[in-house]
Amino acid sequence: MPLVSMRQLLDEAAKKNYGVGAFNVNDMEQIQAIMEAASETKSPVIIQASRGARAYSQDKYLYHLMLAANELYPEIPLVMHLDHGNSVETCKSAIELGFTSVMMDGSLMADGKTPSSFDYNVQVTREVVEMAHAKGVTVEGEIGVLGGIEDGHGAGGTGLEHVTDPDQAVEFVAKTGVDALALAIGTSHGAYKFSKKPDGSVLKMERLIEIHRRLPGVHLVMHGSSSVPKSLQDVINKYGGKLKETWGVPVEEIQLGIRNGVRKINVDTDNRLAMTGAIRKVFVETPEKFDPRDYLKPAREAMKKVVAERMTQFGQAGHAGDYQPLSLDEMARCYAR
């Protein structure tokens, strides 16, 4: 099975009203953890890499790791997605490398920090859509600006400064033709999302529900949606870490989003916490260990456990064999029609 289009995965998820987790990676162990979880739960999966991840792992290493994952798990529909592309050129380079889906985050300027204008966002996103669809590649856009910073990308803040406007969301979709739309509803990148369990004052689920009502055929995306469980924080702090108390996005809120048009859910921090906690545990309990395999294997297993749990909670578990994946050439013909 070739690497597949994200559009098809989201279309299929919409038919049965489930969500698909999109998990960030930087290295081999993270890809292995995700694919083992997908195989265990029989889930379609989106693996995504940011610009920071592409620089860290180097594009060719990353791409061939994805090909290896695809070869080892041919029964799993697998998408290779660019997370938070900052420019048309970044998206173009990803498509040329072999990514089957790209995000053009035109909500920020090319520096990845400065909030842009609506017109700029439409212009660059539309340019990427035209380029990508000609090759059968999916495009995710963003309207509104998330809080926090991840891999050097983000405007900072709490996430409430630039919440998505429903009127702009409708206009943006009409003018760009994006396949998926990321919304700003109060979530943030990173671990420190909320200083208390989020309620309606900081997590604007009613805004998401309104946008779904007005755009019922559009696949919505929740970014910054790690749940940051206290159990994962506690492991890190038990073994020498110093994480401040924090709250993420409750799974039940994500499930509410899924019932209202959310088809892609971005998860990164939870996996980082799981791996870091497992590594710290090895270092403290067996300080004589020095073989990287002694701490990377339990780290990989800890991440796999989190990913499998999210796949089940999002509803994608059991759906890997529901449909025959289309090639990018077939998707390109669909877009052309």
Set 11, 27, 59, 83: catalytic member: 83
- For residue 197 the two structure tokens come to 């369990």
Q: Position 89: which residue type?
A: E
Q: Which residue has 């998707």 as its token pair?
A: 331
C-alpha distances in Å from residue 319, one per residue of 2, 20, 43, 229, 337: 17, 10, 6, 26, 27
Q: Please report how the helices 205-214 and 251-258 are oriented relative to each other, as an axis angle in degrees rounded to 10.
A: 10
Beta-carbon-side half-sphere exposure of residue 250 (alpha carbons within 13 Å): 12
- What is the rounded distance in angstroms from the CA atom of residue 286 to the CA atom of residue 171? 57
Catalytic annotation present for 83: yes
C-alpha distances in Å from residue 20, one per residue of 263, 289, 311: 6, 37, 7
Q: Note whether 271 and 303 are within 8 A (CB).
A: yes
- For residue 202 the two structure tokens come to 């900081």
Catalytic residues: 83
